[in-house]
Structure 1
Amino acid sequence: MDGSEAIRQNLEALKRILAMLVAMAGMADAGGLGAGSLGAGRPGGARGVGDGAVGAGGQFTFFPRKGAAASRQVRAEKSKLSPALTLSRALYLAILRLLRPAEAATRRLIIAAARGIVVTLPPLRPRKPKPAMLRGPRAFLPKGPKKRPKPTSRILSLSLLDPPRRPFRLPRRVVPAHAAPRILGLDFSATYCPLPPPPSPDDPIDAERLGQRLAALGAALDDLPGQAKRFARWQARRDAAIARDGPVSSRRLSPLRRGRPPGGRLARYDPGAPLPHKIREVDEILAHAHALAIYALESPDTS
């Protein structure tokens, strides 16, 4: 089974989906997400986020944060850093429903592309023993003021492991603010505070984290061979740790979690079967990529 052609086709389809998501968010001209990270150029109809970006056809709008000065946004555009902006709740959830299966499909394509890659890990560095002065009376002396670490640019990278399931996690029982009981005192002269309105689809939500995830997905799609080597190094470190310490229950043995992939709606890939209702293109890509990843993990290429 040679999955190189299937990997290439799914990769191109995921790039188209990412371009659509970026166009929906109106972030095609934002810093950190350029034409190189999309693989197919900038989608038409999207404008820069610094001047009130709208998506294709003017349907999707960024909402600037309250109190953000225009000069701050101009400086952010000049430094190629996307300003802190928000999306409407409905648009944010619509992008997230497509982003989760796209991330899972990219992760599985990386696993399939890593089949047959052999890496050599460097030797482990010996741990340096603590100095003797720290074990003596000087360890109890007050320490000086801590130096502030220099701000470093965060490297965006797609996670190679599926988020684990938490079957024993209790759901949080939180009463929304608009449905909380009003307990009033006997002081009738106190001012009455009205309840906050219920959540609306037009409420602005912070989209900074969403933009980082889109940028990480674009970087992974642009450098699939590099991500495959990264996964091969993870496999080598896992095998070395198992050989040294034995299987530990807290260590991840498989990058994929059991059951259906995150965000997917198809249980298995069957190109000849009729598709159920409400199946999207990203669901078919995820099911196919999941089959390729399972084959790569169960039948490693040792030649």
Structure 2
Amino acid sequence: MDGTAAIERNWEALKRILAMLVAMAEMGAGSLGAGMPGAGDVGAGNRGAEGVGAGGQFTFFPRKGAAASRQVRAEKSKLSPALTLPRHLYLAILRLLRPAEAAARRLIIAAARGIVVTLPPLRPRKPKPATLRGPRAFLPKGPKKRAKPTPRTLSLSLLDPPRRLFHVPRRAVPAHAAPRILGLDFGATYRPLPPPPSPNDPIDASRLGQRLAALTAALDDLPGQAQRFARWQARRDAAIARDGAISRRRLSPLRRGRPPGGRLSHYEPGATHPRKIREVDEILAHAHALAVYALDSPDTS
């Protein structure tokens, strides 16, 4: 089973869906006065997500060339301090972004089939200093110097989020529907309840912009992400060989059951689906089948 053509076809479809999501975010941010320039350049081969600016502003910029760097500086000077989206558009993007991330993760796993990497030798552990051993360990320590926080790099997670087995959602009454109990104090001031949430309420979308940027970077460098997953597999196998069967490391990157955000339990080529099944659901089901095959039948040649 050679899944190169299937990976390429699903990769192109995911790039098209990602371009649509960024255009939706640009439209929503523009309606609230926070512009997002350059959303139409997602599918270009020499372009990608430059990152998230101050306050969570998310933009797409070209990466190469001196003219590109000048354009980046010119565009960054026009950025608004923060990115907000209407509630209904934020939720609509989120409903499509989650299965798109899961599909990209499975395409990376399928593309990593047959890749063999060699890990560097483990570094020996440094012995503890004398101040941390013996009676000196109980002495009060001096003030610690705070290290400067290093900027976090945007990267798509290679592992599915774990399923919360014993999570019981708390039942809470929303603020706009709380009972009006004033008590026996007849002189208490009446405070009106807050209005119910509106679909047009502005929502902070800085985290959403970071996830879009990470997904764009992963789709722009699929072979590099496949090498990254192969290194994760090698570290997992080395930990299992060192610690035995009982290892704290995660054994499988995929969680059991239906993929996150998907509406199809399995992939059926040529099958007709109801209207509620979206294109991203079909892509996710196909990518899941490719990833499961790559994990169950590794290419050792």
Q: Please tell me the TM-score bracket, short chain as reference.
A: 0.7 to 0.9
Give unmatched runs, 5+ long, in structure 1.
43-49, 54-73
**CA deviations over 1:113-139 (Å, ceiling 9, x no partner):** 000000011111111121112224443
Q: Which digits, 9 at most, give the CA deviation of each residue in 1:162-183, with x for residues without a partner?
A: 1111121111222211122233
Equivalent position of 1:57 in the other structure = none
The answer on whether the counterparts of 2:95 and 2:261 sit within 8 Å (CA) in structure 1 is: yes
What does residue range 1-303 of structure 1 map to in structure 2 within 5 Å? 1-26=1-26, 30=36, 38-39=43-44, 77-78=76-77, 83-248=81-246, 250-303=248-301
Moved more, 192-201 or 105-114: 192-201
CA contact (8 A) 1:39 1:222 kept: no
Residue identity in the other structure for 2:244: G
SS of the aligned residue for 2:203 comes to strand
- Contact 1:98/1:282 (<8 A) preserved: yes
The change in CA–CA distance for 1:17 and 1:263 in structure 2 (over 3 A counts) is same
Q: Secondary structure at the match of 1:200?
A: coil
TM-score when normalising by structure 2? 0.82
Letter in 1 for 2:76: E
Q: What is the one-letter code of the residue matched to 1:102?
A: A
Q: Percent identity?
A: 80
**Residue type matched to 1:263 in 2?**
G
Q: Deviation of residue 143 (structure 1)?
A: 3.0
Give the drift of 1:189.
Answer: 2.5
Q: 1:240 is paired with a residue of what secondary structure?
A: helix
CA RMSD of aligned residues (A): 2.8
CA contact (8 A) 1:38 1:218 kept: no
TM-score by length of 1: 0.82
Task: For structure 2, list consecutive stretches of 5 or more residues without a partner in the other structure.
Answer: 48-54, 59-72
Q: Is the 8 A contact 1:35 1:41 kept in 2?
A: no
What amino acid is the match of 1:8?
E
Q: For 2:212, give the aligned amino acid.
A: L
Distance in 1 of aligned mates of 2:80 and 2:243:
45
Change (3 A) 1:202 1:231: same
The Cα shift of 1:19 comes to: 0.5
**SS of residue matched to 2:85:** strand
Shift of 1:37: 5.2
Q: Is the 8 A contact 2:111 2:226 kept in 1?
A: yes
The alignment of Structure 1 onto Structure 2 pairs a total of residues equal to: 273
CA distance in structure 2 between the aligned counterparts of 1:40 and 1:139, rounded to whole angstroms: 57
Query: Residues 35 and 120 from structure 1, CA distance in 2 versus in 1: closer, same or farther, beyond 3 angstroms?
Result: farther
SS in 2 for 1:13: helix
Shift, 1:259, TM fit: 1.1
User: Distance between the aligned counterparts of 1:93 and 1:116, measured in 2?
Assistant: 38
* Distance change in 2, residues 1:139/1:250 (3 Å): closer
Q: 1:235 to 1:41 in 2, by over 3 A?
A: closer
Most deviating of 87-96 and 249-258: 249-258
CA distance in 1, matches of 2:171, 2:284: 33
Query: Is the 8 Å Cα contact of residues 37 and 221 (structure 1) preserved in structure 2?
Result: no
CA contact (8 A) 1:15 1:39 kept: no
CA contact (8 A) 2:99 2:262 kept: yes
The 2-side partners of 1:75 and 1:149 are apart by 32
Shift of 1:34: 6.6
Q: CA deviation at 1:194?
A: 0.9
Deviation by residue 1:199-232 (Cα, 9 ceiling, x = unmatched): 1111111101000000000000000000000000
